[in-house]
Structure 1
């Protein structure tokens, strides 16, 4: 799959772009997606930055100044350095676990730190604790009523994986008829109490849409979709 780094409007003050496919452990290929959110103050919040091409940089800069870089978990950090180089004045916030993994990245704050005043009118967040794979920060963009998941909810199209990887993906609930929490992440929630506590505010958000890094967006009835995706935890 090739990169399609064209910014496309997803809703009020939010845009998305498809990045290149990346290769994870055991040769599994994953598509990438990022979101650009324009905050009330005018600055841009970059969620899950993808590879930064000259074209993408021009499109982003046309929307405003990049104020924040937001890697949403300890797995989505591959392209973070090039964004910091391109936007040295942007503040980068760390999800739990990423500081220890990327000692070469400058972090200006942590998502589990004090609330950020610049975001408070635009974004809510919940930290999904208790997982042994990664601790994901889930965001809610108020103006577009969109919840942003990264790896906790996934769906790959039929035929994306080949051979034995297709079998593993099916067993892992990655290729179902509806996006779902992969089985490996369900098992990795060693602390179910902490996970349920983190999920509670997410279920109260008035979600209409759901964006995910690995899967087609869910348009409409997002709150009902999230409840179905996490029925095993509820």
Structure 2
């Protein structure tokens, strides 16, 4: 069975092996976006094996490897070794955490010219845990979130881990911003300003690294997920709504 699954026009998803973080097992997911000229943008790379490499290379040339926050970096070195010509881009805070990696650029407020015409991006500021950079693929109208929204199925965790996950909203009835990240938003105005940009995107789909993708009504889904923060689209904020 193919690892890369189409998710829309010029975007594919692949699930990787679980990763253990603080005693919890997390699924891993990556996205591959094909830009003009068969250039590939790889978001949150998962473990690279021979089969996945064949599928990726069938799509085009790996040009950019993007680590969307300082928590998703486990497999960057093996991808850089496999594709030394690819540019490695770091989320805020990751350079200091991975001094062993030679990053080519830092993900900021504005998408670099290499992919700005096809992919937008917005760092979500104000959180003590990490500054996550959220992406929007215009052609497929897909928003890519890493950790700020999560949803684990019932039974994924057991014992005391299930209790902790429930308290953290990781296993709520619907995808949620985990409680630890909610608490981590100590600068809420900065967070709302960041999210206003994201809520302005004409999203149809939403990808989460830890949760089933949202296939429709993505904009409404995001407004609901961040309602607790008082986040609203920039246009509405400017109108005083």
Q: TM-score, normalised by structure 1?
A: 0.96
The answer to whether structure 1 residue 64 and structure 2 residue 65 are counterparts is no
Aligned to 2:145: 149
Aligned to 2:79: 83
Cα drift, residue 112 of structure 1: 1.4
Cα drift, residue 115 of structure 1: 3.7
Structure 2: gaps of 5 or more residues: 231-241
The answer to whether structure 1 residue 49 and structure 2 residue 42 are counterparts is no
Q: TM-score, normalised by structure 2?
A: 0.93
Aligned to 1:214: 210
Cα drift, residue 114 of structure 1: 5.8
Query: Is contact 1:5-1:19 (8 Å) kept?
Result: no
Cα drift, residue 41 of structure 1: 3.3
Partners of 1:176 and 1:114 in 2: CA distance: 33
* Mapping for residues 168-207 of structure 1, pairs under 5 Å: 168-207=164-203
The answer to whether structure 1 residue 226 and structure 2 residue 225 are counterparts is no
Partners of 2:21 and 2:9 in 1: CA distance: 33
Give the direction of change, closer, same or farther, for the CA distance of 1:17–1:115 in structure 2 (3 Å limit). closer
* Mapping for residues 6-25 of structure 1, pairs under 5 Å: 6-25=3-22
Partners of 1:60 and 1:135 in 2: CA distance: 28
Partners of 1:118 and 1:35 in 2: CA distance: 17
Structure 1: gaps of 5 or more residues: none
Query: Is contact 2:109-2:122 (8 Å) kept?
Result: no
The answer to whether structure 1 residue 105 and structure 2 residue 94 are counterparts is no
Secondary structure of residue in 2 paired with 1:232: helix
Query: Is contact 2:15-2:30 (8 Å) kept?
Result: yes
Cα drift, residue 80 of structure 1: 0.3
Query: Is contact 1:172-1:183 (8 Å) kept?
Result: yes
Query: Is contact 1:41-1:118 (8 Å) kept?
Result: no
Partners of 2:227 and 2:172 in 1: CA distance: 15
- Equivalent residues, number: 230
Partners of 2:2 and 2:194 in 1: CA distance: 32
Stretches of 4+ aligned residues off by more than 6 angstroms: none
Aligned to 2:238: none
Secondary structure of residue in 1 paired with 2:3: strand
Secondary structure of residue in 1 paired with 2:36: coil
Secondary structure of residue in 2 paired with 1:50: coil
The answer to whether structure 1 residue 140 and structure 2 residue 136 are counterparts is yes
Secondary structure of residue in 2 paired with 1:119: coil
